Structure 1
């Protein structure tokens, strides 16, 4: 009976409630409902890019290839075998051909008992003829010389015909695409020779340099620096004597501005040849 009286005196907040009964005005809601937030968020675009200065510095187009580049942060982003190359300071012209002028890769399905390679100039005159028995080698290289061992005339167009014969004498002829050779570099005994057609440097019938002459003169300067020992002599071939002299003065100015020569280490001489075809007008640089 005492126990019953104690429980009867407990306040309502302490007395246990049924499981399905809730406190003051609370209502339990269960289930799912879709809710779409339509309030637009505030957005402030960044007006200043804090990394723009770094990006401009690391952009390849902004490189200045000089001695100071090795001392800047740019040197960390460039392979060392490129940054240490002196050729990065001046353009390199791809017009010049070094070594073998042309390389042939003959391939035949049938057996070949003999073959012949004929190289002719624009007049159809053979300048080089190679004949061999048996199948041709996998690679045939032409060094740009005639049958007499002389260098070909640059500026001319050359055609190439490859003839193959089987055991019965049947002939198979392959005509290659004609090629014009505008600039060639070769080793001539005790000197190096770089030859380039006049129209690759000068305007037609004039002594003014054309738009592409700058890069080609830079490459000529590179060739001189690479092989120079004692002197460099420039010969200017033309059918007009006055034109040859004017071009000599231009070349002397341009090359001495690009290369530092010792006393008497650089000479320029005109070569006036009456009747010389304009396409065969050329400049030869002999480096000794």
Structure 2
């Protein structure tokens, strides 16, 4: 059996191991004890200190604070391409290189050159016109006592379309440009809007609106989309020029090609020209075809031409898109 003691000395600490050996003999047991250590003069006594810890081992851990970058996986993709930042000095190239060729191309759509109204209907304001004719404001109660009519007349004074009613005139009246017989107004022709109001006493009050005349008209028919163009704008007042008149004729043809580019690119195109004779009509149709080919960059087989002789008032150019 072994016992261990810790002894603290003023000079040093050492471990004294005392061992008891149990000896057996034939006569009995004997126990040898170590002799006490003799103390030297001036030496302090050994002191044995015993103690126990009052606090156990702590098992609590500090909170985990791991910083994470949510954009770590895409950081590399957000880095700029340094090669793009290495621009050449303006002193090393001409001004033409700083202007893109594509935007300066004639084949790019130019909305500011549009000659066609995007609004499909013509709008009239009979109620407002009644106040203008009477030269005073009129209440709704008083307006209900009037009879009204709106007549669209052509250049010869013939009635092209007529609207009429009793009671309060409408604040706004829309018209597509097609009359009850299925005829459309024609490009280059002048039309007049004539207003007639009859008061309760039977007295008529008339007025004329702004003249209606258009360089080009767009409308959908069963056979396809029609773009009707005024020949006097394309080929001059006599409608017999052998070239496209600039800038009026070129602008209206440019607007025609823009309409095709926006909505009807890829559809077959047919050009119909109406002139004083067939040969002149064929020549005009071919000139329009060549212009459209240069603008649309399509195969010549996609544009067909037709020429017809017609009276002066009926001379025009129709561009038909076969979208049906």
TM-score (norm 2): 0.57
CA contact (8 A) 1:92 1:215 kept: no
RMSD of aligned alpha carbons: 3.0
CA contact (8 A) 1:235 1:269 kept: yes
Counterpart in the other structure of 2:314? 280
Mapping of 1:124-135 within 5 angstroms? 124-135=157-168
CA spacing shift, 1:152–1:210, aligned 2, 3 Å:
same
2 CA distance for matches of 1:249 and 1:232?
Answer: 13
CA spacing shift, 1:91–1:207, aligned 2, 3 Å:
farther
Counterpart in the other structure of 2:125? 105
Residue 270 of structure 2 is aligned with which of 233, 237, 254?
A: 233
Task: Answer 1 or 2: higher relative contact order, Cα 8 Å, separation at least 6.
Answer: 1
CA contact (8 A) 2:107 2:296 kept: no
Q: Higher Cα Rg: structure 1 or 2?
A: 2
CA contact (8 A) 2:271 2:318 kept: yes
Task: Mark the runs of 5 or more structure 1 residues left unpaired by the alignment.
Answer: 1-51, 69-85
Counterpart in the other structure of 1:96? 116
Range with greater deviation from structure 2 (86-95 or 107-116): 86-95
Residue 188 of structure 1 is aligned with which of 218, 221, 242?
A: 221
CA contact (8 A) 1:65 1:88 kept: no
2 CA distance for matches of 1:235 and 1:64?
Answer: 37
CA contact (8 A) 1:98 1:186 kept: no
Residues 64-91 of structure 1 show CA distances to partners (whole Å, capped at 9, x for unaligned) of 57379xxxxxxxxxxxxxxxxx996446
2 CA distance for matches of 1:257 and 1:66?
Answer: 15
Counterpart in the other structure of 2:244? 209
CA spacing shift, 1:280–1:182, aligned 2, 3 Å:
farther
Q: How much has 1:269 moved relative to structure 2?
A: 0.9
Q: How many residues are paired up?
A: 212
Q: How much has 1:129 moved relative to structure 2?
A: 0.6
Q: How much has 1:95 moved relative to structure 2?
A: 2.7
CA contact (8 A) 2:277 2:308 kept: no
- Tell me, yes or no, if structure 1 residue 218 matches structure 2 residue 218: no
Task: Mark the runs of 5 or more structure 2 residues left unpaired by the alignment.
Answer: 1-89, 132-137
